Structure 1
């Protein structure tokens, strides 16, 4: 099945039931750029719709008591994520690796600690991401138009840039489709900023 078709179906069936930030997680998973997602849903009652969509497209899914959903192609990966996410001990690096984040970024977040991730991200977003590294600025994540679904280890993380560029190529190839408009607009902004330097 066409990856764009799966994403369009996700938007039409689940767009209202998921946070905007899930858009980047879902598209990266559909494209094979990350193996799984973990996201908090708006209303726990909506999990039925999410589960139905996952079943239709051969994804495994689970919702925990805190309304976090776990989705992956592989049911054993979903189980591993749930077990790891509910451990009392520090687990940021291992959880990040299971979610498909670059190892350098996982190590950085583990060093910072989960309780400081938001502050680190806010400070990082204020820094100067140069040239194509602008694509790894996580600032647009909550709006659903970031090009990565994790907090990068630095403003020049090549592993994060690789993920962003793969999504960028997919967006450019399919830019006429309205479900990708937010990313098309972001790419245009980045290209204009680079050309104006």
Structure 2
């Protein structure tokens, strides 16, 4: 099977269901950003600092593929079968955050990204997740989007922030507080 089809050479692509749209359509931006986020999560998962979280992060990647499939489907083509996102996917993130928070010191300042390479990668993933969330919200203002997609992305960005703090704690790295100059 050839990867290239040349059907996108005119600046259009097909959604699941066959509808052709511009590659600049907010739907394409939305699932493209999900794909970018999934790549960052893959990088995080592969770091030794996350070895005990690899399976959980693989589950996140699976949910992101589910979200990408949902976003890549023409909402008018209901016959296309795609996996579902469940409420339990959101609560899984909440429970993981709660567990990590049990060991973390109270946060007294905003935190600057950095302090350890794994932490920095995690902050990048968090920022991409927020961008993804904004794109999906723009899409939801124009077309139907499962509300659980927005909930999941919102919770995932929170999870990634807590993971940043956890990585700093576990590696003994300094959390760099933002102390605004006076």
Superposition TM-score tier, normalisation by shorter sequence: under 0.3
The one of the two structures with greater contact order (alpha-carbon pairs below 8 A, sep at least 6) is 2
